[in-house]
Amino acid sequence: MLKDFEESALLTDLYELTMAAAYYRHRKFAGATFSLFIRDYPPDRAYFVNAGLEGVLSYLESFHFDREDLDYLDTLGRFDSDFLRYLSGLRFTGDVFAMPEGRLFFKDEPILEITAPIIEGQLVETRVINAVNLPVSIATKASRCVHAALGRGLVDFSLRRTQGRDAGLQVARSSYIAGFGGTSNVLAGKLYGIPVSGTMAHSFITSFEDEEEAFRAFAETFPDNTVLLIDTYDTPGGARKAARVAGDLSRRGKRLRAVRLDSGDMAELSKEVRRILDREGMEAVKISASGGFDEY
């Protein structure tokens, strides 16, 4: 049975192990310092946002080779039994000096330094770089979106398009560090204490005979947290139906929190929807939008 790969010290490049074996054979156990920095900016960038430190520390605290790891290394025919015995008792004993998550940094500026016996530092190098790379990329991108939003709230809705479970969690966490207000990822909400956000999909609307019937069913189920997706058929028409549902909620002492747009010319449609809602006395109803936004 395969164990979770995140628990394995084998999540590294082979050359880290071949170098470690050579260090061990020649009894090189002196301390060394490894500095992590980024050499240059991507196009049109001039800063980075630090993230990923939690994953680094968690990995270092649990770093070890278990019996399955050592048995696999033995099958490669590259490492002698003396070195494998050494690995069986190896733990990370070094020190980590790091910049706090969420802080801005610049190219050539170390964000993390590990000082440890050289074998330990070498063996953790790949995973440490791996643990920081995606979170920094996402946090930096998210910070640019937060800046462009000019105070409007942003929510991560990327899980269905990220590369696997770990990336989905890292995107949610890194975006939150950079200033997003929440995530659609329920597991990220549980693990990291991030507010979770979500409404409905077009499939919910089309499962009913009538769009307004779908709106009313959702409002009845969630009278204190009603957000209606209004672009399934015709966005202005959906806004007018949402306004009627909002009126009914208001008469029951509840209110429609927001409507959501997910297609079309968001800027123009949002203005038209705002006019429709305001004419019906629904100035407090917010408009949210989703669908592949970036800072531009």
Any residues with CB less than 8 A from the CB of 206 and at least 6 apart, and which? 232
Q: What Å distances lie between residue 164 and 50, 81, 161, CA to CA?
A: 22, 36, 8
Given this model, what pLDDT does residue 8 score? 87
Q: pLDDT truncated to tens, each residue of the chain (296 aa)?
A: 334 445 689 999 999 999 999 999 999 999 999 999 999 999 989 999 999 999 999 999 999 999 999 999 999 999 999 999 999 999 999 999 999 999 999 999 999 999 999 999 999 999 999 999 999 999 999 999 999 999 999 999 999 999 998 999 999 999 999 999 999 999 999 999 999 999 999 999 999 999 999 999 999 999 999 999 999 999 999 999 999 999 999 999 999 999 999 999 999 999 999 999 999 999 999 999 998 889 99
* CB 47 within 8 Å of CB 153: no
**How many Å apart are CA 151 and CA 100, to the nearest integer?**
24
- Angstrom distances, CA of residue 248 to CA of 47, 216, 241, 242, 278: 49, 9, 11, 10, 16
Is residue 65 within 8 Å of 9, Cβ to Cβ? Answer: yes
> What does the block give as tokens for 93?
């004993």
Nearest to 125 by CA among 68, 60, 172, 74: 60
3-state secondary structure of 162: coil
By CB neighbour count within 10 A (0-12 exposed, 13-18 middle, 19+ buried), where does 192 fall?
Answer: middle
Give phi and psi for 112, each to the nearest 5.
-160, 135
Structure-block tokens of residue 48: 């980075």
Instruction: Give the largest Cα separation in the chain, rounded.
Output: 81
Q: 95 forms bridges with which residues in the sheet?
A: 115
DSSP per-residue string spanning 39-57:
-SPPTT---EE---HHHHH
Q: Which residues contact 289 (CB under 8 A, 6 or more apart)?
A: 260, 261, 262, 266, 270
- Sheet order of strands, 256-261 included: 226-229, 256-261, 286-289
Cβ contacts of 266 within 8 Å, gap of 6 or more: 289, 291
Q: How many CB atoms lie within 10 A of CB 251?
A: 8
